[in-house]
Amino acid sequence: MLTYLLRRALVSIPTLIIISIVLFTIVTLAPGDPLAEFALNPAVSAETREQLRVALGLDQPLPIRYVRWVTAFLRGQMGYSFTSQMPVRTLLAQRLGTTLWIVGAGYGVSLVLSLVLGVLSALKPGSLFDRAATTWALSWFSTPTFLTGILFILVFSVKLRWLPSIYTSTLEVADPAGLAALLRQSAMPVAVLALFQTATLMRFVRSAILDQAHQEYVRAARARGIREFFIVSRHILRNALVPVITLVALGIPTIFTGAIVTEQIFRVPGIGSLLVRAIETSDTPVVMAITFLYAILVVLCNLVADVLYGLLDPRVRLGEPVGTG
């Protein structure tokens, strides 16, 4: 297992190097001048703008700037924001907790819902519940999150006035009332993420359980008189969750990127809204830091998925073909 893990980890290193080169090149050559706001200020002379460009290293050739950026990133230094003049690491630390709360709550709710709905739907295929759950999943999967967010605001904020439409960043949770306010303002962004992810995962859970339910070992267990509850929990569910667990690991980056749209709709002060603002102002250090951290997250989740699959199915790490028979 250790050899398999090392082999997968070594593959990730050149992948990250290639990604960093591509990202840095695209972000650096993208249209927009990070010093554009100074150009609009008549109090800032052209000489001052040129001195700022030199101080920020923008006058250096692209390869030199890339090497300097990689060296600083490996030391944990992500540079300074062009617009706020704050360390990028500080900006990320200020917003990371909010993003982790929204994304984590949304993903946790989606895992519970998708597992329950997928199992119940697969145990009675073709039933009224199965048709209703499948239709529900396809409907939410086909609806983009920005449309869902707008509908939620119109219904629960404008029409019913139950929930706030804007996330308050200054809220302090010091008592039960503060916790209740946090849950109220988090309800809609969490629900938008959870519903879309549930619709995705539920279909895979249902398909995986249906695939296992018709295997020979299940029929043999029923022939031996084993109770249906133990057949489902100890045999079908255990084997069906092997591909689902890897899918869950691979879905973590997806929900992080999906949170970018959700944070914009509900004005959540998270990493996604920071990335959008940085793109609008050509704040290259912030854009580069966030996009590369997303890339690292994708590579790490793929590595975790490979390791989990190797642990759950030894044939994977031994290089044997995996079949369903």
d(CA 206, CA 132): 13
User: Which of 130, 133, 23, 124 is CA-nearest to residue 70?
Assistant: 23
pTM recorded for the entire structure = 0.76
Residues 40-51 as b/e (b if ≥16 CB within 10 A, e otherwise) read: eeeeeeeeebee
Contacts of 265 (CB under 8 A, 6+ apart): 145, 146, 149, 150, 153, 189, 192
Residue the block writes with tokens 């989990």? 308
For residue 255, the enclosing domain spans: 2-317
Residue 43 inside a domain? The answer is yes
Q: How many residues would you count in the chain?
A: 325
Count up the domains in the chain and report the number.
1
d(CA 101, CA 107): 10
Residue 216 inside a domain? The answer is yes
Residue 320: pLDDT above 70? no
Query: Nearest 5°: phi and psi at 87?
Result: -60, 135
Confidence at 56, pLDDT banded by 50, 70, 90? low
SS3 291: helix
User: Which of 187, 167, 182, 192 is CA-nearest to residue 259?
Assistant: 192
- pLDDT of 54 reads 72
Query: Nearest 5°: phi and psi at 317?
Result: -75, -20
pLDDT digits (tens, 9 = 90+) for 21-54: 988 888 877 776 666 656 555 666 667 767 767 7
Residue 55 has a CB neighbour count (10 Å cut-off) of 9
Residue the block writes with tokens 């073909």? 321
Q: What is the mean pLDDT of residues 189-208?
A: 87
CATH number of the domain where residue 235 is located: 1.10.3720.10
User: Which of 304, 289, 314 is CA-nearest to residue 88?
Assistant: 289
In whole numbers, what is the pLDDT of the chain averaged over residues?
81
Residue the block writes with tokens 């040129």? 50
Residue 324 inside a domain? The answer is no
Residue 322 inside a domain? The answer is no
